[in-house]
Amino acid sequence: MSEILFDHNAVAVALNSMSDNIQGAEIYLVGIQRGGASVADAIELRLGQRGASVSRGNLDISFYRDDLDTIGPNPEVRPSELPFEVSGKDIWLIDDVLYTGRTIRAAMDELFDYGRPASIRLAVLVDRGGRQLPIRADCAGLEHIAPANCTVDLKIGDTWTIEQRQVK
């Protein structure tokens, strides 16, 4: 059983407000594969309409996970692409759902393997609570405290929705 937490309109409003929070002369957006990359694309579009100069990159954090032993390698790894020099840059890390914080930790680890950024800030579409690490979003488009036995996912189709599904 899944339940729609936020419909397309709510998601669109959240993307707009996130874009408003991301300022600067040179903006470096790094999406986390796969959902985060789509969110970063949406934000890039909005920032571009405002005339901002945006550089885009994506990270696949499969090789930086801390749970290889238990789940095995991800069968579908997407390439990490950072077509700009990371060192000295102010980086916005973009993800769709912020939960335990482990993905963000892995993404920061990977980012540092490309260079030494001046700063890293985090923007997420939805913060669902349940953090296991001292990590918070600098910018969260939506907030919803989901029970631990539920997953929260961004569904991307003709419309974008955020759904909650109970798992065992």
Q: Of 1, 25, 51, 75, which lies in the binding site for other proteins, with binding defined by CB under 8 A?
A: 75
Q: Kindly identify the residues of this chain, within the stretch 50-69, that bind other proteins according to CB under 8 A.
A: 60, 62-65, 68-69
Q: Kindly identify the residues of this chain, within the stretch 110-129, that bind other proteins according to CB under 8 A.
A: 110, 112-115
Q: Of 4, 13, 45, 77, which lies in the binding site for other proteins, with binding defined by CB under 8 A?
A: 77
Burial class (CB in 10 A: 0-12, 13-18, 19+), 41: middle
Contact 82, 56 (CB under 8 A): no
119's tokens: 């700063």
Residue 95 is a binding residue for other proteins (CB under 8 A): no
Residue 83 is a binding residue for other proteins (CB under 8 A): no
Least separation in angstroms between CB 72 and other proteins? 3
Residues that bind other proteins (CB under 8 A): 60, 62-65, 68-73, 75-81, 109-110, 112-115
